[in-house]
A and B are shown apart, each in its own frame.
Chain A
Amino acid sequence: MGNRNEIHQQQISAFLTSDERYSIDTLLGRKPNDFELNMFAAMWSEHISYKSSVRWIEDLPVKGPNILVQAGDENAGVIDIDGDLACVIKMESHNHPTAVNPGEAAVGVGNIHRDLVAMGARPVAQLNILRFGDLRDPKIRESVKSVVRALGSYSNSFGVPVVGGEILFDDSYAYNPLLNLMAVGLVKKDRIITASFKKKGDQVVLIGRKTSGSGVHGAGFASTPFSGNTKHLVPETQLADPHSGKILCDSLMEMNEAGLISAMQDVGAGGVLCAASEMAFRGSRGVRIDVDSIPVMREDLDPIDILLSQSQEQMLISISPGNLARLREIAGKWEIMHATIGEVTDDGKLVVVQDEDKLCDLPVASLVRGGGAPVYIRDMKDPGRKVVKVSADEVPFPGRLKEVARTMIVHPNIASRRDIYEQFDTMAGLSNMGAFFPSDAGVLSIPGSKKLIALSVDGNSRYVRREPRKGTMIAVAEAARNIVCSGGKPVALANGLNFGDPGDLRVYHDFTESVKGIRLISEKMQVPVIAGNVSLNNVTRRDQTSVSVQPTPVIGMVGIIENQEDMTSISFRSKGDMIYMLGRSSNDLSGSEYLAAIHLVEETAAPEFDLDYEMQLQQIMQTLIRDGLVRSAHDVSLGGLFVALVECCLPNNLGFDITSPAEVRTDAFLFGESQSRIVVSVSENAETAFLDFMIEQKFPLSALGHVTKQELRIDDSSFGFITDYARDFENALGKLMEG
């Protein structure tokens, strides 16, 4: 045990600054003992306290007409859906553990679903958001395979469909891959559970698997830039067990249905300590915990290990003593471990006892975010980056556009994600409407309702690099555009903010710019933030020095489709339908994958973006769908118009015949990533009404051409057949993965 103590000492000095140790003395009016110091090290870590980010995050708009539980108030946000049903949304990151051990990705899946369960909700959908280094490196390919396998190993057994996601590759993620998850659960409004202790005397019950002793100080680790020098801080690997996770979920659903649970929280980073103190703080209560009553998997654990262990498939609940018997009965049916480990008090204190000894006795508030935990506005500096816009005139015309088209279609960031998503059960629970009918957003049916939930994620770090604020706004706009193209209306957004070392003045500046971007667009579009996650200290090594990852904000969007009939696919439907593009093409190539892949120009501005214009586009698109004037809709994004058109053709094996405009160079027209564009197809019958409406709107519109049987034609020149593109596009990523 001496060794373990030594490690904890090292962890404390790594995770708490001398200023912070001084603040602890001041807060308590005394020196904390070692046990307490360990608790502060965990609770004041960046990962739990959000000390460097909270000041910025709290400026984000979180209120809205559909919002039942605001972001930040509980473990997940809740949106009003229909009748007595509500939808719980959560966004999480699992970057550091996945970087160290790809198998840990499974732990992230379990964690996020338990955050939904903690609200009383049944998990119904998951989106996986991934970033890796260059696939040409065999180590990266191995890492992708392991992470994908680990993600599937949990969600496939747990029975939650993966309905969307994103995977992008960039060298900056070589040593620090990113894993963000978004998850959705459904709950009856009168069964929503909070994570606030209620009454004095309520029993605190630990339920699920026994405490493993692993994952101690995982929160601190996740708050430290990881490098060769910090290896000793890596916590023991945790094992996720989807089978236990599913049983835990089902048993808690039954207990909740019976109205037994008064408060609940997942035992995550910071272990029982974090869950108990946060629950006590939210409910303005105190809590007393008896360490010896916590069931453990092994006997050699110190009290502090037991309290801080991030054991998997374990939750903390409070329950009135009168309900204990019924709880035992249900736990017995599911054969699930449960133990009363303490009780709720009303003195606002956290007391941990072992036998008759008090290991700690301090105000709960001193430990937690919103209480005594530090809040930092760190130094920052606008790096004064040159923002270089690139127009088509400034790069040579590549000629041979057919070859460029083929190159773009098999590009790792553009090719079909089939090789990845086929490893996930996308149909579990039977609610995924898009398993065979792809839309720009994942679409879920809701039992007993004619409404549908639409979900999308978006984040192009290439746009954020030079212009973090604008790049982040584009991510929000695009995520919303996806919802709109699928037939929905955006109602709330979730953000996953992945940045480097907050001690780096430029990194911190980028982070604050990104948050400001979200705030601006969120207020303007009246789409509040329902969930968020901040992951800082994502750092990679290059030539012996630490380099922060590219700023990577990812945006998840939640929308509602009012009627099943409004659900709209990206897919062209039949030969002869007219193809139109809403929005305008331009010679702007800034930020495009084309510019990076073909012209090797990487560090440029984000594409041009005008928010008012974007909002007008989304408004028009919503009306077009509601009035039944279009047969398909697909937004133009990564890879530009050509890629978008191929994607429209694939599901029904159709082709297209289009003409490019004279005023835009053809490569920019086909591959530029000008924002605020949507490709729609219109049937002959609806064309007059469609045009009448569009003329009234005075919004830029181009008639591109029409849908053909199989051939792709641009300006009367054949670009080949859809079957060839289908094969290349569908198989490219699998081939890259084989090396």
Chain B
Amino acid sequence: MKFGVLKYPGGHGDAELVHILRQYFNKEVREVWYLEESYADLGALFIGGGFPCNHLEPGHQCLDESPALHYLETFVSRGGYVIGFGNGFRLLCETGLLQGELKLNSTGRFICKHVYIKAENQLNAITADLDPDEVFRTPIATAFGNFEADEKVLVGMRQEGQILFRYCDYEGRITESVNETGSKDNIAGISNPEHTVFGMIPQPERAVSEFRRDADGKRILTTLLQRIESSYNG
């Protein structure tokens, strides 16, 4: 199957994702320009980090008018997977495909560092092969990583197994002091109720190099890609 990576003017996470999926995972990847009206040829679409909006000159075309984003719902209803990392997660919340919202970090500033996360369950393609007791070191780079949702939504998410990852310390303890972004319940990533749309602030695609001793993200992506491919039926 073919993977897609959303590309829009002003973004930069797309190039990283394309590179990683091709070089490290040997996948067939194509860029999806934000003006494309459909991409039914794909099994999954990735949305990377970066900033889709120009906040200085009003009237500039923003992604609200992106046909590629409008097609997302159809894509998902037809069995496609959608995965947003970093700001891609925020974009998915804004389109309504994921519940909740991502606010400015509680520190009020951009944070780039490695953090520890662990899988909340094995109910999602991205966590299915991960041991819930195992801790993964992954980088974050975000100003808007502070996940928030009202309690009712959170209850539903917990019941449906929609919480993917939570921030923890290097020994797996979930404490407030390691919650760098200030997210509700240390939540680092979530899915939709159907477990086909995933969003997470940590960027596993940036941690795939054994040489740099920074390869925990590779395990997460391996799980995700294998599971998606095995469930794909054209």
Contact = CB atoms under 8 A, between A and B. Distances in A.
A239 B206 CA distance: 31
Contact of A436 (B11, B55, B61, B214): B214
Contacts of B53: 243
A715 interface: no
Interface stretch (A76-84, A186-194, A244-252, A396-404): A244-252
Interface stretch (A6-14, A86-94, A420-428): A420-428
Interface string B12-41: 110110011000000000000000000000
13 contacts: A156-B112, A241-B57, A244-B10, A246-B9, A246-B10, A334-B9, A335-B9, A423-B112, A426-B112, A426-B141, A427-B112, A433-B211, A435-B214
Contacts of A244: 10, 54, 56-57
A242 interface: yes
B112 A239 contact: no
B54 A243 contact: yes
Contacts of B212: 433, 435-437
B211 A564 contact: yes
Nearest to A242: B51
B152 interface: no
Contacts of B11: 159, 246
Contacts of A427: 112, 139, 141, 203, 206
- The 9 A-B residue pairs with the shortest CB-CB distance, nearest first, are A159-B12, A243-B54, A243-B10, A241-B56, A436-B214, A425-B141, A247-B9, A157-B51, A246-B10
A244 to B, nearest CB: 6
A152 B110 contact: yes
Contact of B10 (A156, A247, A422, A436): A247
How big is the B interface, by class?
A: 20 to 34
B193 interface: no
Contacts of B110: 149, 152-153, 156, 423-425
Given A423-B111, A435-B139, A435-B212, A239 B50 contact: no
Given A156-B110, A158-B12, A159-B12, A243 B211 contact: no
B12 A428 contact: yes
B46 to A, nearest CB: 15
Contact of B12 (A209, A246, A564): A246
Interface string A145-161: 00001001100111100
Given A158-B12, A159-B50, A430 B206 contact: yes
A475 to B, nearest CB: 28
B10 A335 contact: no
B65 to A, nearest CB: 11
A158 B15 CA distance: 13
Contacts of B219: none
B213 interface: yes
Nearest to A240: B56
A239 B56 contact: yes
A246 B11 CA distance: 8
B78 interface: no
Contacts of A433: 211-212
Interface string B67-78: 000000000000
A423 B139 CA distance: 13
B51 A243 contact: yes
B42 to A, nearest CB: 21
Interface string A305-345: 00000000000000000000000000000110000000000
A638 to B, nearest CB: 24
A699 to B, nearest CB: 31
A422 B111 contact: yes
Contacts of B51: 157, 242-243
A138 interface: no
Interface string A127-150: 000000000000000000000010
Contact of A149 (B20, B55, B57, B109): B109
Contacts, number: 88
A428 B141 contact: yes
Contact of B55 (A243, A250, A429): A243
B126 to A, nearest CB: 20
How big is the A interface, by class?
A: 20 to 34
Chain B interface mostly: loop
A432 to B, nearest CB: 9
Nearest to B86: A425
B143 interface: yes
Nearest to B180: A422
A124 to B, nearest CB: 11
A158 B110 CA distance: 14
A268 to B, nearest CB: 19
Contact of B50 (A153, A157, A241, A437): A157
A156 B16 CA distance: 14
Contacts of A335: 9, 60-61
A423 B107 CA distance: 11
B182 to A, nearest CB: 15
Nearest to A447: B19
B202 to A, nearest CB: 12
A402 B61 CA distance: 60
A424 B112 contact: yes
A705 to B, nearest CB: 26
B113 A422 contact: yes
Contacts of B195: none
B110 to A, nearest CB: 5
Nearest to A149: B109
B20 A250 contact: no
Given A152-B109, A157-B10, A437-B212, 8 more contacts: A149-B110, A157-B51, A159-B50, A209-B57, A243-B51, A243-B56, A436-B213, A564-B211
A437 B214 CA distance: 9
A423 B109 contact: yes
Interface string A404-440: 0000000000000000011111111110010111000
B184 interface: no
Nearest to A145: B109
A152 B53 CA distance: 17
B227 interface: no
A433 B141 CA distance: 16
Nearest to A312: B56
A435 B211 CA distance: 12
A736 B113 CA distance: 20
Nearest to A245: B10
Nearest to B114: A436
Interface string B207-234: 0000111100000000000000000000
Interface string B119-161: 0000000000000000000010101000000000000000000
A250 B31 CA distance: 15
Nearest to B54: A243
B57 A430 contact: no
B95 to A, nearest CB: 19
Q: Which of B16, B60, B212 has the most CB of A within 10 A?
A: B212
Q: Which of A159, A246, A429 has the most CB of B within 10 A?
A: A159
A188 B68 CA distance: 32
A157 B214 CA distance: 23
B32 to A, nearest CB: 15
A437 B114 CA distance: 12
B61 to A, nearest CB: 6
A428 B87 CA distance: 13
Nearest to B56: A241
Nearest to A158: B12
A262 B51 CA distance: 31
Nearest to A160: B12
A102 to B, nearest CB: 14
A498 to B, nearest CB: 27
Contact of A156 (B19, B56, B143, B203): B143
A429 B20 CA distance: 11
Nearest to A430: B16
Contacts of B211: 433, 564
Contacts of A242: 51
Nearest to B206: A427
A429 B213 CA distance: 17
A180 to B, nearest CB: 21
